[in-house]
Amino acid sequence: MCRTVDLHQAVLAKNDTNAVELRRTLDDRGTTAVNLMSSPGSGKTALLEALLSRAAAGGTPAAAVTADLATENDATRLARSGAPVRQILTDGLCHLEAGMLRGELEGWLPEETRLLFVENVGNLVCPASYDLGETVRIALASVTEGEDKPVKYPAAFGLAHLVVITKTDLAEAVEFRREDFLRGVQQVNPGVPVIETSARTGEGVDALLAHVLRAADGRETHTPVLARQHEKHLHHHHDDDPVADHTHAPAGAADHSHAPAGVPDHSHAPAGVPDHSHAPAGTPR
């Protein structure tokens, strides 16, 4: 004889709980975390150097945590900005988890920090699965990587609150097809804002910093389509399952709390599109 035990637990429940607690802790002290995700060599560190310098120039206390499998090269580069910087060495792990970030920040993050930039491990696959307690998740791609990055890595780009194109100063040289890139972004993450930047010329850096600061003020509104279903999944409860209650992320999991719960209405419907009356009532899921 054997028996079946229904668990219905989110596999990443522990990470999500850590992320929710970290987000709450940061919120309470007025710090907004920004999770930067991209493939290796896309220019995250150079852009971050520019962002930290601009933040300092504008009187915004910012700090950065940078994660790599090996070397402290990035932390050394970023520290030149004068901002507090920490390097997390993942010892081969391909992504950051919320618990690792929490541990790193404890007793280190200066109280006045307004923006905390988290440079994730260079990888567009694995980091996408882990909520780090950030308020803004940014997926970056450089013009040199090809236009199909968003559709090749739909989780990374689909879950982003903001997409950033880097190295635009090289766009012409590599014949970057901007419209193709934007179409791919729109396919996996409808309505996500896109900012084009060059750390070398400074293009877009101010706009990016301004966007992040608006989010820090609670004015960012984009909620990715992919994130909406994930939230629902994390929140659902099985009342008949006593185990699930101990392990499900608490209410608010994956709730990027500055985003409204509702579905943003990207009402770009051109004139002539029929109204909602064509929607069949009670369309089955």
Partner 1 sequence: MHELSIAMAVVEQVDDALRERGAERVPVRSLTLRVGELSGVVPEALDFSFGVAAEGTVLADARLLIETVEGRARCGSCGRDTATGMPPDLWCGPCSRAMNLTGGRELEIARVVLDDVRPDDAGERHGDDDAPGVTGAQADAAADAPARDKEASHVPHR
* Binding positions for partner 1, rule: CB under 8 A: 1-15, 93-95, 97, 125-130, 150-156, 158, 184, 186-191, 225-226, 228-230, 233, 240-243, 246-247, 263-270, 273-274, 276, 278-280, 283-285
Q: Where are the beta strands (DSSP E) in 120-203?
A: 136-142, 162-166, 194-196
CB of 211 to partner 1, least distance (A): 20
Encoded tokens for 94? 């391909």
Of residues 27 and 104, the one with the C-beta less far from partner 1: 104
Of 106 and 277, the one with the shorter C-beta distance to partner 1 is 277
- Could you tell me where the beta strands, DSSP code E, fall in 143-200? 162-166, 194-196
Structure tokens at 69: 């499998």
Query: At 208, phi and psi to the nearest 5?
Result: -65, -45
Instruction: Write down the least CB distance from residue 276 to partner 1, Å.
Output: 6
Distance CA 200, CA 267 (A): 36
Smallest gap from Cβ 150 to partner 1, in A, equals: 8
Give the separation between CA 237 and CA 167, rounded to whole angstroms.
45
User: What sign has the CA pseudo-torsion 150, 151, 156, 159?
Assistant: positive
84 vs 224 by CB, closer to partner 1: 224
Least Cβ distance, residue 195 to partner 1 (angstroms): 19
Closest to 235 in 3D by CA, of 221, 263, 254: 254
**Beta carbon of residue 22, minimum distance to partner 1 (angstroms, whole number):** 17
In the chain, the amino acid numbered 241 is D
Of 59 and 276, which has the nearer Cβ to partner 1? 276
- 191: which 2 tokens? 């309505």
Q: Give me 14's structure tokens.
A: 């522990």
List the one residue out of 44, 57, 62 whose CA is nearest residue 213. Answer: 62
- Rounded to the nearest whole angstrom, what is the least distance from the CB of residue 18 to partner 1 in the complex? 12
> Of the two residues 70 and 279, which places its CB atom closer to partner 1 in the complex?
279
Closest by CA to 49, choosing from 71, 69, 64, is: 64
Q: What is the C-alpha separation between 113 and 109, in angstroms, rounded?
A: 7
- Minimum CB separation of residue 231 from partner 1 in Å reads 9
- Identity of the residue, 151 or 207, whose beta carbon is nearer to partner 1 in the bound complex: 151
Q: Which is nearer to partner 1, 31 or 189 (CB)?
A: 189
